[in-house]
Amino acid sequence: MLPAQPNRSLMDGIRCLQILASNPGPIGARELARRLNMETTRAHRLVKTLAHMGMARQNRNSKYMPGPAMHVMAAQSLYSSGLIGNATKPLLNLHNKLNLLTAFGMLWERNVYYLCHLMPGKSAEEAASRMRIQPVTQSGIGMMLLSKKTDEEVREFFDGIDEISTHPGGVEMVIDDLHKIRKCGYAFVKIHLGDNLYSLATMSPNNLYTGVAVAGAIEEGRIPELLEELNKALVVMFPQTP
């Protein structure tokens, strides 16, 4: 929900940073303006200001990409929060023990962004070198985190979305699933509609912004065993603070 007097310039600047950070390559001011739904001159002023601050930089073709300050801020936030440092070892142990896809991520807008995405047969270095993004309703972590919102917040979250591929009944069908997740304390979600692949996700009561999941050809009978392993990892990742 927006505050009473939102700072639109700040919001536009952050949206611009998000596009720069997630775009697969350099992007021009005209394309930025189209993606931001604003005049080219305004988008140009925004990205020029960000470049002045070091948050963006311009290449030889006058297109923009993340600047050094953005990389430094990303590293600072991950370091100060302790997210990656606390998560790496227990996630690797979990991945090696279960031989399932193991993920750690957070919800932003309508997607889950994975800070760690360990796939069977892939190295930890490969997991760290690529950003994985998944629509919220196709992610166990996404549905787990979404369940922490109220029903009204979920309706607002999907405002303007006419179709949800995983839920033909729309947002009310999503809310029905979230009620079940709130009741049992975990999410068990089919992650690819055509495949027999499921994600089992949960989260720590000491951190309500991130979730942890394992995924693969998981049968429902394995849920108690896998939940126990996930919860052991969460205790290490997010120890209770006094």
Query: Could you tell me if 35 and 53 lie in one domain?
Result: yes
Asked whether the CA dihedral 16, 138, 230, 203 is positive or negative, the reply is positive
Give the predicted TM-score (pTM) of the model: 0.81
Query: Could you tell me if 115 and 231 lie in one domain?
Result: yes
pLDDT tens digits for 84-118?
Answer: 778 888 999 999 999 999 999 999 888 999 988 88
Query: Could you tell me if 44 and 128 lie in one domain?
Result: no
Q: The domain that contains 50 carries what CATH number?
A: 1.10.10.10
Helix spans in 99-170 (H): 124-128, 140-146, 151-157
How confident is the model at residue 206, as a pLDDT? 86
Query: Could you tell me if 66 and 93 lie in one domain?
Result: no
Q: Which structure tokens are listed for 114? A: 């994975």
pLDDT band at 127 (very low <50, low <70, confident <90, very high): low
Q: Let me know if residue 147 belongs to a domain.
A: yes
Tell whether the model's pLDDT for residue 216 goes beyond 50: yes
Domain count, the chain: 2
Q: Let me know if residue 77 belongs to a domain.
A: no
Q: Which long-range contacts (CB under 8 A, 24 or more apart) does 117-122 make?
A: 118/91, 118/92, 120/95, 120/216
3-state secondary structure of 239: coil
Measured CA distances, 187 to 36, 54, 231 (Å)? 33, 40, 13
Q: Which structure tokens are listed for 180? A: 């079940």
pLDDT tens digits for 156-181?
Answer: 999 988 889 889 999 999 999 999 99
Which of 32, 34, 52, 53 shows the shortest CA–CA distance to 44? 32
Residues 6+ apart with CB under 8 A from 226: 98, 100, 200, 214, 218
pLDDT tens digits for 41-75?
Answer: 999 999 999 999 999 999 999 999 999 999 999 88
Residues 6+ apart with CB under 8 A from 241: 206
Q: Which domain holds residue 20?
A: 8-72
Query: Quick one: what percent of the chain has pLDDT higher than 70?
Result: 93
pLDDT band at 82 (very low <50, low <70, confident <90, very high): confident
Which of 171, 210, 214 shows the shortest CA–CA distance to 191? 214
Number of helices (H), then strands (E), belonging to the chain: the values are: 10, 8
How confident is the model at residue 125, as a pLDDT? 62
Q: Let me know if residue 225 belongs to a domain.
A: yes
Domain boundary among 43, 72, 101: 72
How confident is the model at residue 242, as a pLDDT? 45
Query: Could you tell me if 65 and 97 lie in one domain?
Result: no
3-state secondary structure of 114: strand
How confident is the model at residue 86, as a pLDDT? 84
Mean pLDDT of the residues in the chain: 89
Q: Which structure tokens are listed for 59? A: 């290449």
Average the pLDDT over 35-41 and give the result. 93
Tell whether the model's pLDDT for residue 221 goes beyond 70: yes
Residues 6+ apart with CB under 8 A from 228: none
Q: Let me know if residue 103 belongs to a domain.
A: yes
How confident is the model at residue 129, as a pLDDT? 54
Distance CA 6, CA 106 (A): 24
Q: Which long-range contacts (CB under 8 A, 24 or more apart) does 231-234 make?
A: 231/202, 232/90, 233/90, 233/91, 233/93, 233/94, 234/90, 234/202, 234/203, 234/204
Task: Report the Cα–Cα distance between both ends of the chain, in Å, rounded.
Answer: 31
How confident is the model at residue 112, as a pLDDT? 93
Tell whether the model's pLDDT for residue 195 goes beyond 80: no
How confident is the model at residue 130, as a pLDDT? 60
Query: Could you tell me if 133 and 57 lie in one domain?
Result: no
pLDDT band at 193 (very low <50, low <70, confident <90, very high): low
